[in-house]
Structure 1
Amino acid sequence: MAANEYRGYLRNQTVMEQGEARLHAAHGTNRPLLFGTLAVMGLLQVASSVTILLHLTGYLHEVNLSSTEPVKEAHSEHLMADALRDIRKKDKPRKNSKDPIAVAHLSVKAPIDFSKTDPNAVTTVYWDEVRGTLNKIRYHDGRLLMEEQGLYYVYAKTCFRYAPDHATKKQDVSNVQLIQYIFHEIHTQSKTKPVLLTKSGGTLQWGNQSYNMYCVQQGRSARLKASDGIFVNVSNSWLLDPEPEGTYFGAFKLSN
């Protein structure tokens, strides 16, 4: 009985030692495979992280997986410069494809003939086209001539002044009329029958003080056709202020 139990004990111990040996052998055999698997998983994780980062930063372009050409190195400074260039192109204002509008602005032409002092005379004002602005509107003989039809805003300002010390000869300005007229000259009608668009002014009672001045400014819209003209007449033109900031004439197109 005792001998049988002893042999059973020896047999169980031998089996246990053989099992431990097989277990150690199995561990020794699987260790390189385990390390290799971990290494491959690590490389895949790094590659995935880099791919996501490149997608988020916009640096990764479409790649032909079948191509065998080497991928060129992307320099961040070049990529940022390209991005800024694209932004500037988007933010750059687009040029207006429409033609510039018709516009004219002319100041009074100096010198003015101060010898015509007839208080009852109404004369046409002449303007300085050399220093003025003319676009799709022509100037001729005191008139602005339209090159295209449309609705225009027409304006004029005339300043009158009198300084006894600067006058060629003494004049009586104690009761003087200073009136401004804007006329529309229709090209299909006779030039002797222009249409009065607007007028303004007043009767001044100037004294003999050293300086007297009075300005008239008016404007209105008018529908004009191609080749129609507009011009300004004034009374007592010999009193016109020759300064360009005080006496000017112009028009600009509002719509067709």
Structure 2
Amino acid sequence: MNPRSLQTSCHSEDYWKRALMAANDYRGYLRNHTAMENGEARLHAAHSTHRPLIFGTLAVMGLLQIASSVTILLHLTGYLHEVNLSSTETVKEAQSEHIMADALRDIRKKDKPRKKDSIPVAHLSVKTPIDFSKTDPNAVTTVYWDELRGTLNKIRYHDGRLLMEEQGLYYVYAKTCFRYAPDHATKKQDVSNVQLIQYIYHEIHTQSKMRPVLLSKSGGTLQWGNQSYNMYCVQQGRSARLKASDGIFVNVSNSRLLDPEPEGTYFGAFKMSN
């Protein structure tokens, strides 16, 4: 074999070797490319397979979070409601205690005994024994009262008169009863036409001359027969503005017929305001 033919043969052999290596490299490329595509496909398939699981997990977590939030909200709402009720009950209890305290305070005030001299007041019954048998039937007589058995607070008594110690608006009252029983009379009297009148007078102490002012009068003319018992009562009252040291007293007509029983004949006054 000549050198040219040998060289040509060597070149051909090198060519085929390179071609074979290139083919092997191409097959390796194809194999690697296929493996890569298969790996991506598997990864994509894996992603496709796990996607519902992921979404489900996220959905469950979301629902759990919502449920937890709702539970917390309900708990807080219930707590606030309890706090509100507790506050309301506390306010109601405080108000009830305040009302009860006021009521108890009012009751204590009402039940608390007043001082003896807190309000000017007087109540006296007729003084017994009395004997007006010798008096003139047509005369007007001052009635005298029993100061030892009556009530006198900030009002004095003297000579048939109640004397004020404080000025103010007073209510003045008097009641007198007259009776006649022929069988028990010391002497027979004509009572077929008798006037029985009661007068309440006011004496003003600032006057230079005591001229009593008539506050009120009441009574009537009676025609009593000879029955075993006759009785007639006069009762009256009115308000009057009196000053300190002013006096009030009671006069009656036909005092000889005055009933000596203290339950039927009495006189009094009490202060209503300044």
TM-score by length of 1: 0.63
Deviation at 1:137, TM superposition (A): 0.1
Higher helix share: 2
Q: Secondary structure at the match of 1:61?
A: helix
Moved over 6 A (4+): 1-95
Deviation at 1:131, TM superposition (A): 0.3
**CA offsets, 1:177-215, max 9 Å, x none?**
000000000001155410000000000000011000000
Change beyond 3 A, Cα 1:134–1:57: farther
Q: Is the 8 A contact 1:54 1:60 kept in 2?
A: no
**CA offsets, 1:43-100, max 9 Å, x none?**
99999999999999999999999999999999999999999999999998999xx961
Q: Is the 8 A contact 2:176 2:233 kept in 1?
A: yes
* Aligned alpha-carbon RMSD (Å): 9.9
Q: Is the 8 A contact 1:108 1:127 kept in 2?
A: yes
For the residues of structure 2 that align with 1:89 and 1:61, how far apart are their CA atoms?
41
For the residues of structure 2 that align with 1:171 and 1:34, how far apart are their CA atoms?
131
Runs (5+) with no aligned partner, structure 2: 1-20
Instruction: Count residues with an aligned counterpart.
Output: 254
For the residues of structure 2 that align with 1:217 and 1:230, how far apart are their CA atoms?
16
Deviation at 1:112, TM superposition (A): 1.2
Change beyond 3 A, Cα 1:29–1:67: farther
For the residues of structure 1 that align with 2:25 and 2:113, how far apart are their CA atoms?
102
Change beyond 3 A, Cα 1:88–1:155: closer
Deviation at 1:115, TM superposition (A): 2.0
Write the mapping of 1:1-256 to structure 2, written as runs, cut at 5 A: 100-190=118-208, 192-256=210-274
Change beyond 3 A, Cα 1:4–1:59: same
For the residues of structure 1 that align with 2:234 and 2:166, how far apart are their CA atoms?
29
The structure with the largest alpha-carbon Rg is 2
Change beyond 3 A, Cα 1:79–1:230: closer
Q: Is the 8 A contact 2:137 2:255 kept in 1?
A: no
For the residues of structure 2 that align with 1:153 and 1:117, how far apart are their CA atoms?
31
Change beyond 3 A, Cα 1:45–1:250: farther
Deviates more, 1:49-58 or 1:227-236: 49-58
Change beyond 3 A, Cα 1:87–1:240: closer
Deviation at 1:119, TM superposition (A): 1.7
Deviates more, 1:34-43 or 1:74-83: 34-43
For the residues of structure 2 that align with 1:200 and 1:70, how far apart are their CA atoms?
63
Change beyond 3 A, Cα 1:163–1:65: closer
Runs (5+) with no aligned partner, structure 1: none
* % identical aligned pairs: 92
TM-score by length of 2: 0.59
Deviation at 1:16, TM superposition (A): 39
Q: Is the 8 A contact 2:117 2:153 kept in 1?
A: no
Q: Is the 8 A contact 1:152 1:224 kept in 2?
A: yes
Change beyond 3 A, Cα 1:87–1:148: closer
Change beyond 3 A, Cα 1:208–1:136: same
For the residues of structure 2 that align with 1:105 and 1:213, how far apart are their CA atoms?
23
Change beyond 3 A, Cα 1:8–1:49: same
For the residues of structure 2 that align with 1:233 and 1:189, how far apart are their CA atoms?
21
Q: Secondary structure at the match of 1:238?
A: helix
Deviation at 1:118, TM superposition (A): 1.8
Change beyond 3 A, Cα 1:202–1:146: same
Change beyond 3 A, Cα 1:198–1:36: farther
For the residues of structure 2 that align with 1:160 and 1:10, how far apart are their CA atoms?
152
